[in-house]
Amino acid sequence: MEFVVTLIANPDIAPLTPEIVKRVEALLRKNGCETTEPDWLASDIACDIPFDECSSAEPQQAIRSLTADLKIDCVIQPCANRRKRLLLADMDSTIVTSETLDELAALAGIKEQIAAITERAMRGEIDFKDALRERVSMLGGLSADALNSTLEKIELTAGAHQLVKTMRENGAYTVLVSGGFSFFTNAIAKLVGFHEDRSNTMVIENGIITGDVSEPILDRDAKLKTLNEISAAKSIPLIETMATGDGANDLPMIMNAGLGVAYHAKPLVEEKAPAAIRYGDLTALLYIQGYRREEFRD
């Protein structure tokens, strides 16, 4: 079979049932597709449905409409090159559950103001570099001790350890690439197990955040450049790469990777990304590569 539909559930929201799988199979056959026996990657959570190219209109939209109504994630892709050898992942609201700069701002008593700018930047409504400079300038004078206090409160997204460790143990190179700051990415990359991290540097002098950001700023273009640079350096074809994130500054790397995944993303990102995960945790990125639950490394 040339293509595969992967259905993924968050069982806490709605389990994946054999009935749902049968409904998707029926849609494929209705559109002239030949299917083979569904392959369950994890009971009640993930299932592959391999199929050949359809003889009539492509069924993707109908399948995605059905699964969205059922709160089931759905990724449709070629069967070839499913397991990726390079992973690039955004940090804020992807590998961790929050926006670290917003949480730092909470200690300065200005979370609401900074979070509003963050939201607009992540939606692509304002320039990322300008938004970053503006937000950091508002933190000028804050003690650098606030960085440690913020780090202690950061929570990892469910499945982060499993995603990175499983891909690493299967030969993939993993990179945390963030428009956030190195104080946080260094710690999170080490905690989760990424090979390396790339991010921005917040200027600190005499234990005080100055309100400045070291140039050049790592933005959407730098994320794409990182994808291309590491792909070339590691001799990994782009078709064998995966990029994931939630914000507009992640779109270039998402659109140019072998498989780009919008993870619980802003509407613009979800609309343009080749694949989207709305309901599942980060282990969904393993299921869409064809990994079975028993292959995960915890």
The first and second tokens of residue 274, run together, are: 């080749």
Q: For residues 177 and 88, is the Cβ–Cβ distance under 8 A?
A: yes
The first and second tokens of residue 287, run together, are: 């299921």
d(CA 225, CA 12): 37
Say which of 48, 90, 219, 250 is annotated catalytic: 90
Return the closest-CA partner of residue 63 out of 105, 125, 21, 14.
Answer: 21
The count of other CB atoms within 10 Å of the CB of residue 246 is 23
90 in active site: yes
d(CA 228, CA 252): 11
Q: For residues 220 and 249, is the Cβ–Cβ distance under 8 A?
A: yes
Residue-by-residue DSSP string for 192-247: HT-SEEEEE-EEEETTEEEEEEPSSP--HHHHHHHHHHHHHHTT--GGGEEEEESS
Q: For residues 222 and 242, is the Cβ–Cβ distance under 8 A?
A: no
Helices within the chain (DSSP H only): 18-30, 60-69, 100-107, 111-122, 128-137, 145-153, 160-169, 182-192, 220-233, 251-256, 267-272, 284-287
3-state SS class at 39: strand
Say which of 92, 197, 219, 246 is annotated catalytic: 92
| Residue 89 dihedral angles phi and psi, to the nearest 5° | -130, 135
Which residues carry out catalysis? 90, 92
